[in-house]
Amino acid sequence: MSPSFHLIANAFPAAVVLTGAFILLIGFLIHSHQMQKTALITMVIAALFSIFVVLAGYSAKEQIRKSNPEKIASINVHEEKAQSAFVMMEILGILAIVTVYQLNKHNSVSSSLIMLCMILSFVVGYAMIVSIQSGISLNHQIVQLNE
């Protein structure tokens, strides 16, 4: 997979998790368990898709390493940011699964668990945006080198 594909694919989990965060916020404010479940399921989908994005990133890293070895330091900076966002995303995905399970089993869940998911989803969204920005910067540097 090309580095450009990885760059484009990064936007999906970030957009989905932030959309889920806003849906969760609305569901929490109007006390809609269905909206909360929908939001949490979108977060699980984002967590699953982010696995694919990370794998595409490793492929992109190897291609860049071969064609532009002088960019290894920039790649490492981006990779550190991406790994932090990825770990938080997967924690959010697991927490969302647990919360959906609780909602299905008991038809209610602690508001603190919903708030934790909501706060973590906004933090994950921010971390993903920071990671995406470093990837865009890296991609821009590579494009300039290849011109």
The alpha-helical segments, DSSP class H, found in 10-71 are: 11-29, 33-67
Instruction: Give the single-character DSSP code of 110.
Output: -
Which of 20-24, 131-135, 138-142 is modeled with the greatest confidence? 20-24
30-56: per-residue pLDDT in tens?
Answer: 999 999 999 999 999 999 999 999 988
- Write down the pTM of the prediction: 0.86
Query: Measured between alpha carbons, how far is residue 105 from residues 102, 108, 123 in Å?
Result: 5, 8, 28
94-118: per-residue pLDDT in tens?
Answer: 999 999 998 888 877 888 899 999 9
Domain chopping of the chain, boundaries: 3-146
Phi–psi pair at 37, nearest 5 degrees: -60, -45
Two tokens, residue 101: 């399970």
Supply angle C-alpha 32, 28, 52, rounded to 5: 95
pLDDT value at residue 145: 52
pLDDT value at residue 142: 58
**Average pLDDT score, the chain:** 87
- Residue among 42, 39, 46 at smallest CA distance from 114: 39
Instruction: Point out the least confidently predicted range of 38-47, 52-61, 62-71, 125-134.
Output: 62-71
The helix (run of H) or strand (run of E) holding residue 134 is helix 111-146
